[in-house]
């Protein structure tokens, strides 16, 4: 039987207890992408056979199934589309509302999803120029990179 630490209410019964979990996660074939974010590099992929250039890192081409090789994505691009998020996970709870963007890079065939940090409250528009910024304290997740208005 679980131990509870505190009864919050009795009708209906609401209790509170500590919940800790150590989560072990392997990035497997995507590991290099996350390691390189700490070096200030966003890796994409290019298909060895059909030369499709992916803005999202992947080991195999989704069109022809061939292996890809790594490419460095540009650190500047433009907003292809965006949305404003009014609910957030733990990492952004203090930044709500925040803006998610799909970044379009020159000579890259697919888009890169990231977050726009817009402290100067510039008007966000499709086609707006943005530049990548990397967190100083790497956490090995997709939030290690975000974008600023260029």
Residues at the site binding Zn ion, with contacts judged by CB under 5 A: 47, 49-50, 61, 63-64, 66
Using alpha carbons, select from 143, 18, 116, 129 the residue that is nearest to residue 74.
129
Rounded least distance, CB 87 to Zn ion, Å = 37
DSSP annotation string for 26-81: --GGGHHHHHHHTTT--EEEEETTT--EESS--SB-TTT--BEEEEEPPSEEEEEE
Looking at the Cβ atoms of 51 and 83, the one nearer to Zn ion is 51
Rounded least distance, CB 125 to Zn ion, Å = 33
Looking at the Cβ atoms of 61 and 128, the one nearer to Zn ion is 61
Rounded least distance, CB 52 to Zn ion, Å = 5
Looking at the Cβ atoms of 61 and 145, the one nearer to Zn ion is 61
**CA pseudo-torsion sign 43, 116, 24, 54:** negative
Rounded least distance, CB 37 to Zn ion, Å = 25
């Amino acid at each position: 039987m679980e131990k509870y630490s505190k009864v919050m209410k009795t009708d209906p019964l609401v209790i509170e207890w500590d919940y800790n979990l150590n989560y072990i996660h392997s990035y497997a074939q995507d590991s290099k992408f996350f390691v390189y974010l700490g070096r200030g590099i966003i890796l994409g992929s290019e298909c060895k056979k059909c030369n499709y250039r992916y803005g999202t890192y992947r080991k195999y081409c989704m069109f022809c199934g061939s292996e890809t090789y790594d490419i460095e994505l540009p650190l500047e691009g433009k907003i292809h589309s965006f949305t404003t998020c009014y609910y957030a996970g733990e990492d952004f709870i203090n930044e709500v509302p925040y803006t998610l963007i799909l970044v379009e890079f020159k000579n890259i065939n697919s888009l890169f999803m990231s977050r726009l940090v817009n402290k100067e409250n510039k008007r966000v528009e499709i086609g707006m120029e943005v530049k990548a910024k990397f967190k100083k304290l790497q956490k090995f997740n997709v939030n290690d990179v975000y974008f600023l208005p260029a």
